[in-house]
Amino acid sequence: MAYKLIQALYERLPQVPTRPLSELVDLVAIGLIADLVELTGDCRYLAQIGIAQLQTHLQAEHPVRPGVARLLQLCRRSGDRPTDISFGIGPRINAVSRIYGDASFCVELLTSRDLERCRALAEKAELANARRKALQNDVLQQVKQQLETQDLSTLGVIVLCDPQWPVGVLGLVAGQVAQQYGKPTILLTIDDSSADSTPLARGSARSVHHIDLYDLVKTQAHLLTGFGGHPLAAGLSLPSRDVSMFATAINQQLRQKMGGRLTQPMVQADLTVTVADLGQALFQQLKLLEPCGMGNPVPKLLIRNCWFENVWHQKLKDRTGAKVSYIKANFQIRDHSDAKGGAKGGASFPGLWWGHYKDDLPPGRWDVIAELDYNSHPNSSRYEIRLVDIRPATALAPASPDLKRTPASSQMESWLLDCRTHPSAMGNASQKAGTETSLVLSHCPTQWRELQLWRYQADQTQQPLALAYGSPLAVDPLDKWKMLLGLAKYISREQVVVTPERLSKKLDVCDRTLAIGLAALQNFGFSVKTSAIDIRITYHNQDNPLQDIANKTAKEHALSRFLSAVQEEHFRRQYFYQAPLCVLQSVIDSEPY
């Protein structure tokens, strides 16, 4: 909402801003992802362009936001993934208020350009996050101890209270408990500082399985002194004497809503894979679905009948080198799928399980749910899985979606060769050498139709098609507009006739973007006549101030359409540059010419 307000002010007061609006979208992405906003519609688009802006901080010699750049360095992330926010930047910013009770310096951390000051603030946030991890783990263990004394089969909602629990980490622990036990969870602590000397229970709630937590807690509003949130998370307070009554009432309310059925732990898998499927190729395909988050969750992978080897755990350390009581288990997962290089015993792949000891990984065969990730830290970069859930292996696995794996030999015979200039798609030497006898596409496409036409040409000439374009250069849509204006004035002044193809090539835009640009010119005093073979442009000087004011809204709308089209075209080029070869080939093969 803050960004939309600023965007409106930029449009209404174009003479006031001194810096481009695009510099703010990284903060928008941090807010959207860290605050668990649904990444759909406009929010998904803003998160996407915000992440693109976020990753420039570590690439720039003098980053616009040095505090964010330092946070990325401390959490060992590059800023190109939504998880760099959800597991990196977000927890460090939030940890400040959770530990110190004051987040005011976070504003300075995100906005200051003082390198030394930002470095000091980021270090403070890093230490706060280490303390947060330790506190979170301590509270989680205490919650589990309390749950061991309760009959969970009779509970629909977990409600626990302890006067020693720090309120700052209760939401995080409630989320862990809710996911692990499959039940909405409310954790409370006691606050004796109320004005009327009545002890209050304060805390946080987290939901699972699409249970509307806000609506559920709202039914007990008569017991609450404060409440706010949304369907998946909430904060609340009530007199401590009423906690037991609240727990009983909210469980009764859930039973009524569920028709007497209590929730059970359940994790839904999106795709069944083998250990041999894990790695760069699958990661690149799944990455096309990003940004992932609320409303667009990270794909869950089901790996059947597998086991764990080389299991060990470690306690994490803070910036001073001191160990904190927050752990992760490391392992190699293995199954009987074909290992690369013909290794005996099947394929293996590294993984980790946050918040667990090595003894939590049992011996024997298991079905597991995991998320595929990439650790980009220079000293430990690798593809790995994050374990989500474990279940006993099923003797007879039901039919499930599986990956279509193409042998390397058949890829060599493919009509499509990958010679794009980036590490994840370079292909082998024989493929690159094949460009000498192939059709070569050196200009990054912007739509599927272009590739389909090239496919048709490849079929007609019986030659493979080599994708040989590089990474699309960053574009400033406003620069494109200035270039179009300059060309239009030149064409009008010299009375030259140009073809659409030549003008598109000069501007480096596709036909659709050019058409939107030509339409926009007509709101700025140009007359544009187009035919199948040429374009004629004439400029009419506008000296009527009243008419100019009346046309201001139309001008702004037309210009906005063109700038958006240029930006969209750039994202399309990025897609066709990054998309795995198997995805491109599959889509083109499935569509007629």
| 123 pLDDT higher than 50 | yes
Give me the CATH number covering residue 251. 3.10.310.30
Report the pLDDT averaged over residues 319-328: 62
Dihedral angle computed from the Cα positions of residues 29, 35, 38 and 44, in that order, rounded to the nearest 10 degrees: 0
Residues 461, 566 within the same domain: no
pLDDT at 194: 59
Triad 356, 360, 364: Cα angle to 5°: 145
| 311 pLDDT higher than 60 | yes
pLDDT at 532: 61
Domain of residue 300 covers: 272-392
Instruction: Examine the fold and report which residue of 338, 357, 392 is the final residue of a domain before the chain moves on.
Output: 392
Residues 456, 489 within the same domain: no
Residues 456, 553 within the same domain: no
pLDDT at 450: 83
Q: Which of 216-220, 268-272, 533-537, 587-591 has the lowest mean pLDDT?
A: 587-591
Percent of the chain surpassing pLDDT 70: 85
Task: Please state whether beta strands 526-530 and 465-467 pair in parallel, antiparallel, or not at all (unpaired).
Answer: unpaired
pLDDT at 541: 66
Residues forming a β-bridge with 537 = 528
Q: Which two tokens stand for residue 135?
A: 């506190």
The more confidently predicted of residues 340 and 122 is: 122
Amino acid at 166: P
pLDDT at 433: 42
Which tens digits make up the pLDDT trace of 399-451? 344 433 333 333 334 678 888 864 344 344 334 444 557 788 888 888 888 88
CA within 13 Å, CB half, 43? 18
Q: pLDDT band at 258, cuts 50/70/90?
A: confident
Residues 241, 280 within the same domain: no
Element spanning 122, H or E:
helix 115-147
Report the pLDDT averaged over residues 562-574: 88
> Helices 115-147 & 104-111, crossing angle to 10 degrees?
130
pLDDT at 411: 37
Model confidence, pTM: 0.59
Ramachandran class of 295: left when φ > 0, alpha when ψ lies in -120 to 50, beta otherwise: left
pLDDT at 426: 38
Which tens digits make up the pLDDT trace of 444-483? 888 888 888 888 788 777 888 888 888 888 888 899 999 9
**Is the residue at 194 inside a domain?**
yes
Give dist(CA 288, CA 393) in Å, integer. 30
Backbone angles phi, psi at 416, to 5 degrees: -115, 125
Instruction: Examine the fold and report which residue of 111, 135, 159 is the final residue of a domain before the chain moves on.
Output: 135
Report the pLDDT averaged over residues 181-201: 82
Q: Are 330 and 314 in contact (CB under 8 A)?
A: yes
pLDDT at 359: 85
**Is the residue at 141 inside a domain?**
no
| 26 pLDDT higher than 90 | yes
Q: Which two tokens stand for residue 522?
A: 């007509």
Residues 103, 209 within the same domain: no
Give dist(CA 210, CA 134) in Å, integer. 30
pLDDT at 320: 59
Give dist(CA 49, CA 591) in Å, integer. 29
Domain total for the chain?
5
Q: Which two tokens stand for residue 165?
A: 């629990």
Residue found under tokens 């220079």:
378
Q: Which of 104-118, 191-205, 360-374, 570-584 has the lowest mean pLDDT?
A: 191-205
| 126 pLDDT higher than 70 | yes
Give me the CATH number covering residue 103. 3.90.1640.30
Residues 356, 281 within the same domain: yes
Instruction: Examine the fold and report which residue of 82, 107, 135 is the final residue of a domain before the chain moves on.
Output: 135
Report the pLDDT averaged over residues 201-225: 89
**Is the residue at 237 inside a domain?**
yes
Residues 284, 358 within the same domain: yes
**Is the residue at 12 inside a domain?**
no
Q: pLDDT band at 246, cuts 50/70/90?
A: very high
Report the pLDDT averaged over residues 194-211: 81
**Is the residue at 450 inside a domain?**
yes
Residues 290, 380 within the same domain: yes
Give me the CATH number covering residue 351. 2.40.50.140
**Is the residue at 15 inside a domain?**
no
Residues 464, 486 within the same domain: no
Instruction: Tell me what the pLDDT averaged over the chain comes to.
Output: 82
Residues 293, 363 within the same domain: yes
pLDDT at 351: 94
Q: pLDDT band at 340, cuts 50/70/90?
A: low
Residues 282, 370 within the same domain: yes
Give me the CATH number covering residue 520. 1.10.10.10
Give dist(CA 260, CA 258) in Å, integer. 5
Amino acid at 230: H
Report the pLDDT averaged over residues 148-170: 88
**Is the residue at 11 inside a domain?**
no
pLDDT at 321: 58
Residues 371, 437 within the same domain: no
| 48 pLDDT higher than 60 | yes
Give dist(CA 552, CA 558) in Å, integer. 10
pLDDT at 245: 93
Q: Which of 140-149, 420-429, 495-504, 512-521 has the lowest mean pLDDT?
A: 420-429
Report the pLDDT averaged over residues 384-406: 61
Which tens digits make up the pLDDT trace of 260-305? 555 555 567 889 999 999 999 899 889 888 888 877 888 999 999 9
